[in-house]
Structure 1
Amino acid sequence: MVRHRRTTLEDVARAAGVGVATVDRVLNARARVAPETAAQVMAAAEATGYHGKAILKRRIAELAPACRFGFLLQKEGKWVYQRLAEQLRNATLARKDVRADPLFSFVGSLSADRLAEEITRLGSEVDALAIVSVEHPAVNAAVDECASRGVAVYALLSPISAKGLAGYIGMDGLQAGRTAGWAMSRLARPGGDIGVLVGSQRYLGQLANERGFRDAMSRYAPDRVLRESLIYLDDEAVALEAAQELLARSGDLAGIYHSGGGVGGVAQALEASGRAGEITYICHSRSPESEAALRSGVADIVISGSFSQMAQNVTACMAQSVSVGRPVPPPKPERFELLTTENL
């Protein structure tokens, strides 16, 4: 029988590139050690299989800075924000580099003044903040004010132009829109017009989607007629009315590109029209409504990112910002996937 040698302090010190005395100070809390060195020692102890598991867990908890992460989301009753909040909470509580408490706030309207007020209030109570917001000078001013007090602020789902913003975490809107245009140029039946629905032009992400879509269509299907975009305030009931209006205007509609929420309303309009099978429908964001639209054959493609990946990325940036005391820029824009009935 082969006996495995127990990992010693010397082994940990060798792996960490420090002295045994430093390892002892970190693991047994005998004296203060620089946070970077302590983290290096803890990582080496875990990697080498140091036997003091209980000590490691206790010291990791003691060394991790305590902080609060704030999250400002939109309408609380919408599935998309419930799901995003769940992923953000899980990602926050799972972090080991900080001991973070998540604090959530939901704003039920697109009022810029209300959003700015809540950004300022929430920013005064947390160490780092992530927000879903429309573009507006009042919002940008509130973000800049938070940044001036050392609170790193990140935009989720849709970017904003605030100078003090630490970064945007989400899909590349232009790329997503161009992908939708490429797909529409190949899927929509020949000859018909293409309709465009946009939830709100105050979301820079949706504007980028629309621009990318139109750019791609002009490249891949230059002879197609693209109708003027209909704006529906990112509300499902208004989306239903906008889709009905679009269908009524054109008896030769070949496709609908939809940037924004309210997929259920558009799907309802298409089903009621009896023309769903002949109209290519491309929309954004995986949800129960978009999945149902795919399964029923009403929707052809759903362009979707991952809330789980978004939550992990933003909480990692927030944790690093707290640890180093300055905003940490996010990684490159997140990848997205094309969902169809075949890969749900």
Structure 2
Amino acid sequence: MKKLTLEMLAKMADVGVATVDRVLNERGGVSPATARKVLQAARQSGLKRVLPEAYNHPWQIEVILSANGSFFFRQLAADFSHIADGLGYRRLTLHRTFIPESQPETLARHLEACSRTRDGIMVFAQDYPAIHEALALCKARGVPVITLVTDLPDAPRLCHVGINQLQAGRTAGLMMGKMLATPGEVIMVSGRFDYRAHRQRIEGFRQVMQQRFPHLRLREALAGQDDRALISGLLERHLAGAENVVGLYNTGMGNTEVSRALARHQLAGACLYITHELYSLTRTLLTQDVLSLTIDQNARQHAQLATDILLRYLESGDAPDTYVTGNVDFRLVTPENQH
């Protein structure tokens, strides 16, 4: 009988020679279904070598995050890496990609590429037609996707992992209204409107303020677009002509610019200021009594939940509840409980 070669085995399993080599030598990077085909062909052909008892496929997982340089995404990326390291290289291989928020087409193309090479994807993505199309392609190819932080409810995804952003905005509005007894104006600074998270934060904040605190007048939200220079310019124009600004709510980046603008207009500590995330700057602003309250999203819980959910689905087919399974609890941090 002719000696069985890798080329012959690859033809029997209808895969490439490199795939056969990876399976037989347990190098990973091959889906479980393909690995089973190769091993079955090897057994049926009577290949004279020790075959893997169970093929340990390290799942190829892609995490796509914003490249905006904010503390939250830097911390989230670090938390994903730490969790992956703890699980070990035989369990999963984590690939991290950072894409600027101003490049949705780049993100869409990257999602399409990942649908050919990854077992699962976790992504921070905006509402954009090309991204929805790319997510539909991922589903068609059997690649589960988890949305992180900001959801895309009309797109095909396995589930969403994040805080309730509308609830976070409503909580900020409640705290603002309860803490301000005197009438005056409240300024809202929003991150990018093409991200559902920022729209929901503004919507929730506005709902509560208008429903419960008529003594406070809301200005139209300033579209800061997570652009520091733009935020600084918008605040300068709006604060220069303001007579009675008593509150400011910032949903996204730009806390350095906000605090500097308040200081320039003698409003630091006098204007009730609420923002998101707890990190070195917001800790300092809390200590200095410039910042009244911050709403922290808990990056570590995002990373842990998303990883656990995706692995359970890949390994046992355990389908999560779209929102309940991935719900993350946010935390209110004041100068008294920041440590």
Establish whether TM, by shorter chain, passes 0.5.
yes
* Mapped contact 2:111–2:135 kept (Cα < 8 A): yes
Question: What displacement does 1:233 show?
Answer: 1.1
Q: Distance in 2 between matches of 1:97 and 1:324?
A: 19
Question: What displacement does 1:123 show?
Answer: 3.2
Structure 2 residues without counterparts, runs of 5 or longer:
1-31, 33-53
Matched AA of 1:181: G
Matched AA of 1:199: G
2:257 aligned with 1:265, yes or no? yes
Look up the match of 1:100. 92
* Mapped contact 1:68–1:103 kept (Cα < 8 A): yes
Look up the match of 2:329. 335
Q: Distance in 2 between matches of 1:96 and 1:329?
A: 27
Where in structure 2 are the equivalents of 1:1-344 lying within 5 Å?
Answer: 65-75=57-67, 77-95=69-87, 99-325=91-317, 328-329=320-321, 331-344=325-338
Q: Residue 201 of structure 1 aligns to a residue in which SS?
A: coil
Q: Distance in 2 between matches of 1:297 and 1:308?
A: 27
Q: Distance in 1 between matches of 2:336 and 2:272?
A: 16
Question: What displacement does 1:258 show?
Answer: 1.0
* Mapped contact 2:227–2:254 kept (Cα < 8 A): yes
Tell which deviates more after alignment, 232-241 or 196-205: 232-241
Question: What displacement does 1:192 show?
Answer: 0.8
Q: Distance in 2 between matches of 1:178 and 1:77?
A: 27
Question: What displacement does 1:93 show?
Answer: 2.7
Q: Distance in 2 between matches of 1:125 and 1:268?
A: 46
What is the aligned length?
A: 285
Post-superposition CA distance 1:76-129 (Å, at most 9, x none): 643322211010111223237970111011112422212211222233321111
Structure 1 residues without counterparts, runs of 5 or longer:
1-34, 36-61
Look up the match of 1:55. none
Tell which deviates more after alignment, 297-306 or 217-226: 217-226
Question: What displacement does 1:189 show?
Answer: 4.7
Matched AA of 2:76: L
Q: Residue 129 of structure 1 aligns to a residue in which SS?
A: strand
Q: Residue 188 of structure 2 aligns to a residue in which SS?
A: strand
Q: Distance in 1 between matches of 2:113 and 2:285?
A: 39
Distance 1:128-1:225 versus aligned 2 partners, 3 A rule: same
Distance 1:122-1:245 versus aligned 2 partners, 3 A rule: farther
RMSD of aligned residue pairs (Cα, Å)? 2.2
* Mapped contact 1:285–1:305 kept (Cα < 8 A): yes
Question: What displacement does 1:261 show?
Answer: 1.6
Identity, % of aligned positions: 25
Distance 1:293-1:317 versus aligned 2 partners, 3 A rule: same
Q: Distance in 1 between matches of 2:244 and 2:158?
A: 46
Q: Residue 276 of structure 1 aligns to a residue in which SS?
A: coil
Q: Distance in 2 between matches of 1:220 and 1:86?
A: 40
Distance 1:114-1:220 versus aligned 2 partners, 3 A rule: same
Question: What displacement does 1:332 show?
Answer: 4.9
Question: What displacement does 1:173 show?
Answer: 0.9
Distance 1:162-1:72 versus aligned 2 partners, 3 A rule: farther
Q: Distance in 2 between matches of 1:294 and 1:63?
A: 52
Q: Residue 101 of structure 1 aligns to a residue in which SS?
A: strand
Look up the match of 2:15. none
Post-superposition CA distance 1:235-258 (Å, at most 9, x none): 223222222223123121010111
Distance 1:329-1:95 versus aligned 2 partners, 3 A rule: farther
Q: Distance in 1 between matches of 2:296 and 2:105?
A: 30
Matched AA of 2:153: S
Q: Residue 225 of structure 1 aligns to a residue in which SS?
A: strand
Question: What displacement does 1:157 show?
Answer: 1.2
